[in-house]
Structure 1
Amino acid sequence: MKIIDWYILKRYLVTFLFTLLILIPIAIAIDVSEKVDNFLEHPNLGIAEILNDYYLNFTIYYANTFMPLALFIAVILFTSKLSNNTEIIAITNAKVSFTRLLYPYFVGATLVTIISLGMNHYVVPNSSKIRKSFEKKYISNAKQKNEFKYVNNFSLQLTDSTYVFIKSFNTETNAGYNFASETYNGLELKTKLFADNIKFNPKDSTYALGTWRLRKVYKNKDSIFRGNKLDTVFNFTPRDLIYKSAFAQEMPSGELINFIDLSKKRGVKNLNAYLVELYKRTSLPIASYILTIIAVALAFRKRRGGTGVNLAIGVGIMFLYVFFMKIGEVLGSVAGVNSLLYVWIPNIIFGILSIYLYIDARK
């Protein structure tokens, strides 16, 4: 790399970090003003716990979320400054093409993308576990706390031949009622186990069935067995009963992929909310390249109005990107659609825009 490349790369990274360090304190200040009443409601809650368990992980989450926005604004800011100082003109007069000018920008975008991919796939999910646990304990209201507490009318396929049904289950007490398990040989029912009550023991991962009845189906007759209590094992846990996209945010990508594969085998119909979470962990970091091209193409020309005009246009484009991203996430979570396509729609649309601006800038 030449001196000018190092100069641009340094300005790229320094401005990016500076922009990120401006956005994070703003987000923290807004959150503190909203949550301070919740903190004061718990006299035993100390400052150290708030900082370590909540705001440290809050910072990790929002630093990763703000990366594309900070990167886009940073590129516009320092490229506009280069243009206003006629440094871009000096570079182009030295026979440096627009494509060559992008080289240090792409090196910077690659560094940001690698960091963001690592954060998205591994660091943020583990951090979100601690943050959400804190929120559930100290911040969530009664309605939010009960959101994952009760599961009603749930069915689950454990293997190719075994199915379970639960009328109601409390995931806090690990107890439920009206449980049934059916085992098939092809299309023929072989056994059916009923229980008025069911309780999970997390110590040894067993289930205690109360007032149970077991029906065994033979060719010419059925046999029925009864009892007051039966300890048995099933290939699921109470957490598996709750299919909520919020849990996907707490799973590292390897665990999330295994969970999706296992859920497909168990016959869960709509896993698109989990697929959206998995796909966007890659699509958002890759957007660093697209947003970098757009920002440079907008800001490398000297404009009347200077940095302010470029920044206004950039913020408008960034708003549209976030808008399309949220629309894609919502539509991608609907059953029966191609989640991968909807998650990548913002990158496809703005990728086309970046190609157009790149071709125009080369002229």
Structure 2
Amino acid sequence: MKIIDKYILKKFLSSFLLVMALLLPIAIAIDVSEKIDRFLRNADLTVTEIIKDYYVSFIIIYGNTFMPLALFIAVIFFTSKLAGNTEIIAIHSAKISFTRFLKPYFVGATIITIFALVMNHFVVPKSNKIFDKFNKDYLTTKKIDANYLTNINLQLGPNDYIFFKSYTVDRNIGYNFSYEKYDGINLKYKLSSDNIHYNKKDSTFKLINFKKRFIYKKRDSIVSGSRLDTVFSFTPKDLINVAYMAKDMNSIKLNEYIKQSKQRGVSNLNTYKVELHKRTSLPIASYILTFIAVALSSRKKRGGMGVNLAIGISLMFLYVFFLKIGEVLGAGADANPLFMVWLPNLIFGAIALYLYLKNAKN
């Protein structure tokens, strides 16, 4: 790596860290001012717990959120300074092409992208879990009852289905349960009961007031009784399908959950798929935003850095706008979540390519 590459890379990373160091304290100060009264209401809550369980997770989560914005501002900031000091003119005078000039930016963007990918897929989900628990325990006034589930249906395999009228999570008891087995579209077997109890010790189910129905070509056979102990290929945790769970699972677990739920016939998993795809698309955007920022600020303009920052921040907000629209639309039952999540990158990737070709010609 040449001296100029090391110089630009050093400026790239130091400017990025500086912007992050400016954004995060502002976010923390705003959050403290909004939450201080709720912290004080909990007499048993210590300062150490607030910092360890809330603000450490807050920094990880929001630092990850601010990363693309910080990167974009940082690149515009120091590249505009290079252009303003005519350093870029000197670089081009040394017969260094625009493509070659981008090399240290590419290296810097790669470092940040790899870091962001690790954070998004493994670190942030763990922090989300701690952060959400703290919010639920101390800051949320309206409690959500996730203990009582109603109208549950689940596909256990290609031909096996279960139904619950309701299920109480903490007691592991379900009501109006039925298990159905099909051969194509024809029902072949049905097991139903008034109540079903799950035993954690041996992973068995106890059915109360059960009825078995075997369906043959010319007749049906019915067997009934007061109690039946049996096993099924599901556990009570498989019945819970709450959207916020997606943020709390690392990508390996989330991908396994999506595959398993798809096999079991869960109707709409797009919320989970959007979360999974976003964890990759957002870090990859570091390359796109870096190249756009360099292309915008590598030439000296009248108005200097202020004009570049104004254009850059406007583009950044447009990117965030498209990203949020893509997330909302991608979560719809009939949408393609992969396409919708990557759509902002496709749009801004086209802008980056246009700006690159324009600068490479000059």
Q: Distance in 2 between matches of 1:209 and 1:47?
A: 49
Residue equivalent to 2:225: 226
Q: Distance in 1 between matches of 2:205 and 2:59?
A: 40
Of 6-15 and 62-71, the range deviating more from structure 2: 62-71
Q: How does 1:26-37 map to 2 (within 5 A)?
A: 26-37=26-37
Q: Distance in 1 between matches of 2:131 and 2:151?
A: 30
Letter in 2 for 1:214: K
Q: Distance in 2 between matches of 1:100 and 1:270?
A: 46
Aligned residue pairs total 360
Residue equivalent to 2:271: 273
Change (3 A) 1:37 1:176: farther
Change (3 A) 1:361 1:264: same
Letter in 2 for 1:270: N
Q: Distance in 2 between matches of 1:32 and 1:176?
A: 43
Report whether the alignment pairs 1:356 with 2:354. yes
Residue equivalent to 1:101: 101
Give the TM-score taking structure 1 as reference length: 0.93
SS in 2 for 1:121: helix
**1:130 Cα shift?**
1.7
**1:328 Cα shift?**
0.6
- For the aligned residue pairs, the C-alpha RMSD in angstroms reads 1.8
Residue equivalent to 1:330: 328
Letter in 1 for 2:286: S
Q: Distance in 2 between matches of 1:181 and 1:168?
A: 14
**1:231 Cα shift?**
4.0
**1:263 Cα shift?**
1.0
Q: How does 1:177-192 map to 2 (within 5 A)?
A: 177-192=175-190
Report whether the alignment pairs 1:13 with 2:22. no
Q: Distance in 2 between matches of 1:201 and 1:46?
A: 38
Contiguous gaps of at least 5 residues in structure 1:
none
Q: How does 1:1-363 map to 2 (within 5 A)?
A: 1-143=1-143, 145-146=144-145, 148-218=146-216, 220-227=219-226, 229-362=227-360, 363=362
SS in 1 for 2:248: coil
SS in 2 for 1:249: helix
**1:326 Cα shift?**
0.4
Q: Please list the CA deviations of residues 104-155 of structure 1 after superposition, one character each: whole Å capped at 9, or x if unmatched.
A: 0000000001101111111111221222122222222325x22x34322121
Change (3 A) 1:43 1:213: farther
Letter in 1 for 2:279: R
Q: Distance in 1 between matches of 2:119 and 2:46?
A: 28
SS in 1 for 2:195: strand
Change (3 A) 1:208 1:53: farther
**1:329 Cα shift?**
0.7
SS in 1 for 2:104: helix
Letter in 2 for 1:258: E
Contact kept, 8 Å, 2:323 with 2:341, in 1: the verdict is yes
Contact kept, 8 Å, 2:54 with 2:130, in 1: the verdict is yes
Of 29-38 and 11-20, the range deviating more from structure 2: 29-38
SS in 1 for 2:301: coil
Contiguous gaps of at least 5 residues in structure 2:
none
Change (3 A) 1:176 1:38: farther
Letter in 1 for 2:246: A
SS in 2 for 1:142: coil
Contact kept, 8 Å, 2:212 with 2:224, in 1: the verdict is yes
**1:267 Cα shift?**
1.2
Q: Distance in 2 between matches of 1:265 and 1:299?
A: 50
**1:173 Cα shift?**
4.1
Contact kept, 8 Å, 2:155 with 2:265, in 1: the verdict is yes
**1:62 Cα shift?**
1.2
Of 214-223 and 52-61, the range deviating more from structure 2: 214-223
Q: Distance in 2 between matches of 1:105 and 1:194?
A: 64
Of 298-307 and 232-241, the range deviating more from structure 2: 232-241
**1:215 Cα shift?**
3.1
Q: Distance in 1 between matches of 2:202 and 2:65?
A: 39
Instruction: Percent identity, please.
Output: 58
Change (3 A) 1:204 1:23: farther
Structure 1 residue ranges, 4+ long, deviating more than 6 angstroms after superposition: none
Q: Please list the CA deviations of residues 45-102 of structure 1 after superposition, one character each: whole Å capped at 9, or x if unmatched.
A: 2222222122111211111111111100000011111111111121112111111111
Change (3 A) 1:36 1:149: farther
Change (3 A) 1:98 1:215: same
**1:351 Cα shift?**
0.6
Give the TM-score taking structure 2 as reference length: 0.93
